Structure 1
């Protein structure tokens, strides 16, 4: 009997699941705020601008709320949880992707995602501590450093192509509904599940469009050897707003980003979290 009992596997650690759910919720909050502010900027509501929809602008918006520093600290903690969960997915292969080329590619995506949101969590923490975060655009800083290297324009061009490929993959991922396995079978009613799948599709496509624009801006920075051409969400939103029918295009993308945020909430509630 003792031999049998020792073979019973230990339950998976709950802290990993909690990290994932807290992280996905925080990510959903951020994307909903980004989408709302971008929509307001598109139609010049209450004086909002595309600058307000950038990551620093969203964090400042949270900080300016009543008990803002406490709220911002909670968001920073949530983003840190998301970062750690992504690292765990990449290193421990909790999604069972394997070690072949496709599996390694997926695990590298998790690692990249963790690094991005880790930087976001760091910026939020800096603001909570009163350091104000960085006033410059991190992407312009990156381009500046790359252009100073041998074959600098080619390096920036490679980053641009990689960023645009990420955007294309996001659109493909959304259009083909590959993401729906994250919530399918989670106990949702069929009608609600269909609505969430639709929201996810809109959200991933909108996110892909933003990545494509950011990649295009990097490409312009490479071609012109000008770091000022590069940028993140803020620059992408400005680019969309300045295009033909820009307010409507930016408004549509903004709604899509809100949908993506809502889908993150649903993932936090219904997605099975693998821990081993």
Structure 2
């Protein structure tokens, strides 16, 4: 045997160490990713709160939140951290989708869930690339919701497809409302050991955050259905447009402020997930 050659037990030890390193990498990616999502929603919520309170601010979406981060002191450093975090979250979503680390299975419902994970991975990877391109001075926001709606509407049965997207988004919003009402988002959090009072606040913040995000998705779904009915892509809108619609209603500042506070709560919930969620590994 050549000097330094690995024996069977050594190979098994190396393989085991590699698997452990991979599992640790998945856990780190997930926790860093959830923290990055928290930062994005915190920026969106705080800007909307400022607008509702009459202290500047604006309604914006996830891309606008990344741009706002770039405008801050040490913006380049913050962009790198945010981009890495969003890319880490994309990796975690792909692990959930492809490796099925959470044991969803292969039923119809499970495959849909895993497809949603994959779609979320693509969205967050795209947002990470936007952050990195912004750092290089070559950022491009793409077609936006209305541009994508126009392209979809140009396809055969385009109006039906746009309407179907609206129905799916509304269905997701309803599912989020149900999760908030039943507290299901807390099931994967390891809260054992927390004092009762602190646990109560974790539950309240989590439920408020998920419910507020559901309101925004509900409006986005309605926008898609309006676009389909009127055959007008201009009726479609994303997160920023949904917040703007709230601001334009009677008692708009109060409505906007309430939902904006909820989005900040959602950001806190994402931080709680980063800290307390049980991360399944391959």
Q: TM-score, normalised by structure 2?
A: 0.89
- Number of residue-to-residue matches in the alignment: 270
Q: Determine the structure 2 residue equivalent to 1:37.
A: 47
Runs of 4+ in 1 over 3 A off after TM superposition: 6-12, 184-187
1:16 is displaced (CA, Å) by 0.5
Q: Distance in 2 between matches of 1:103 and 1:223?
A: 31
1:267 to 252, 263, 273: 273
Structure 1 241/62 Cα, relative in aligned 2: closer, same or farther at 3 Å? same
Q: 2:137 aligns with which of 124, 130, 136?
A: 130
| TM-superposed deviation, 1:219 | 1.1
Query: Offset at 1:54?
Result: 2.3
- Deviation, structure 1 residue 187: 3.8
- Gaps (5+ residues) in structure 2? 1-7
**In the alignment, what sits opposite 2:102?**
95
Change in Cα spacing, 1:237 to 1:138, as seen in structure 2 (3 Å) is same
In structure 2, C-alpha distance between the alignment counterparts of 1:125 and 1:233, rounded to whole Å: 22
Q: Which whole-Å CA distance do the structure 2 matches of 1:61 and 1:185 have between them?
A: 33
Q: Does the CA contact (< 8 Å) of 1:124 and 1:133 recur in 2? A: no
Q: Distance in 2 between matches of 1:122 and 1:174?
A: 31
Deviations 1:196-253 (A, max 9, x none): 1111100110000000101111111111111111111111011111112111111111
3-state SS of the aligned residue for 2:187?
A: helix
Q: Contact 2:41/2:62 (CA < 8 Å) preserved in 1?
A: no
Deviation at 1:172, TM superposition (A): 1.0
Aligned partners of 1:25 and 1:78 also within 8 Å = yes
- Alignment deviations for residues 51-73 of structure 1 (CA, whole Å, 9 cap, x no partner): xx322322222111111012112
**Is contact 1:97-1:103 (8 Å) kept?**
yes
**More deviation in 107-116 or 249-258?**
107-116
Tell me the secondary structure at the aligned position of residue 150 of structure 2.
helix
What whole-Å deviation, never above 9, does each CA across 1:121-153 have from its counterpart, x for those lacking one?
A: 12212211101322x652111111111111111
Q: Which of the numbers 153, 166, 170 marks the counterpart of 1:164?
A: 170
CA contact (8 A) 1:186 1:271 kept: no
Tell me the equivalent position of 1:67. 74
Offset at 1:194?
Answer: 1.9
Once residues 109 and 280 of structure 2 are traced to their aligned partners in structure 1, the CA distance between those partners, rounded to angstroms, is 19
Unpaired stretches in structure 1, ≥5 consecutive residues: none
1:150 aligns with 2:159: no
Q: Secondary structure at the match of 2:138?
A: coil
Q: 1:254 to 1:137 in 2, by over 3 A?
A: farther
Partner of 2:201: 195
The alignment's TM-score, normalised by the length of structure 1, stands at 0.91
Q: Distance in 2 between matches of 1:147 and 1:98?
A: 34
Q: Who is 1:107 aligned against?
A: 114
How well do the aligned residues superpose, as a CA RMSD in angstroms?
A: 2.1
- Determine the structure 2 residue equivalent to 1:215: 221
SS at match of 1:98: coil
Please give the alpha-carbon distance, in whole angstroms, between the structure 2 residues aligned to 1:41 and 1:185.
35
